[in-house]
Structure 1
Amino acid sequence: MENDLPDSMRGDDETLYRFREHRLSWLAYLNVLLKGVIACAIGVAFMLFNRWVTLTPLMAQLLFAGGAAIVLFALGLVIYRVLYIRRVRLYSDRDGVWCYRGILPWRRGVIGTNWRDLRQASYGTGFLRWLTKAYPIQVDNRFTDTDPIVLANVHRGHEFVGHVNAWRNRMLRQVEHEP
Structure 2
Amino acid sequence: MEEDNASRPAGHGTLLCVKSWTAYLNTLLLALLLFGFALPLAFRYSELIAAGVMVFAVVVVGYRILVIRSVQLYYDDVGVWLYSGILPWSKGVQGVKWRDMDEATFVQSFWSWLFRSYSIRIGHRYTKGSEIMLTRMARGKDAVAALNAHHQSLIRSNAIN
* Structure 1 length-normalised TM: 0.69
Partner of 1:123: 106
Partner residue, 1:57: none
Please show how residues 126-145 of structure 1 align to structure 2 within 5 Å.
126-145=109-128
Higher strand share: 2
The C-alpha deviation readout for 1:42-71, integer Å capped at 9, x for no partner, is 5247537x7xxxxxxxxx67xx94x77555
For residues 93-108 of structure 1, the aligned pairs below 5 Å read: 93-108=76-91
* In 1, Cα distance between equivalents of 2:78 and 2:139: 22
Q: 2:20 aligns with which of 16, 21, 25?
A: 25
Deviation per CA, 1:100-127: give whole Å up to 9, x if none.
1110011111111111111111111112
Q: Could you tell me whether the CA contact under 8 Å between 1:43 and 1:68 is conserved in 2?
A: no
- Contact between 2:18 and 2:138, CA under 8 Å: does it hold in 1? yes
C-alpha contact (below 8 Å) 1:98/1:111 kept by paired residues: yes
CA offset at residue 22 of structure 1? 1.6
In 1, are the aligned partners of 2:99 and 2:160 still within 8 Å (CA)? Answer: no
Name the amino acid aligned to 2:95. G
Give the Cα–Cα distance (whole angstroms) in 1 for the partners of residues 57 and 132 of structure 2.
27
| Residue 174 (structure 1) aligned with residue 145 (structure 2) | no
Q: Which has the higher helix share?
A: 1
Question: How many Å apart are 1:148 and its aligned residue?
Answer: 2.1
Q: Does 1:74 align with 2:57?
A: yes
Structure 2: which 5+ runs fail to align? 1-12
Cα distance in 2, alignment partners of residues 102 and 176 from structure 1: 32
| Cα distance in 2, alignment partners of residues 164 and 110 from structure 1 | 18
Equivalence for 1:109: 92
Residue aligning to 1:84:
67
Question: Cα RMSD between the aligned structures?
Answer: 2.9
Q: Does the aligned pair in 2 maintain the 1:20–1:93 contact within 8 Å?
A: no
Question: What runs of 5+ residues in structure 1 fail to find an aligned partner?
Answer: 1-17, 51-59
Per-residue deviation, 1:97: 0.6
User: Shift of the alpha carbon at 1:86?
Assistant: 1.9
**Are residues 1:36 and 2:31 paired?**
yes
**Alpha-carbon separation, structure 2, partners of 1:129 and 1:68:** 39
Tell me the residue number matched to 1:160.
Answer: 143
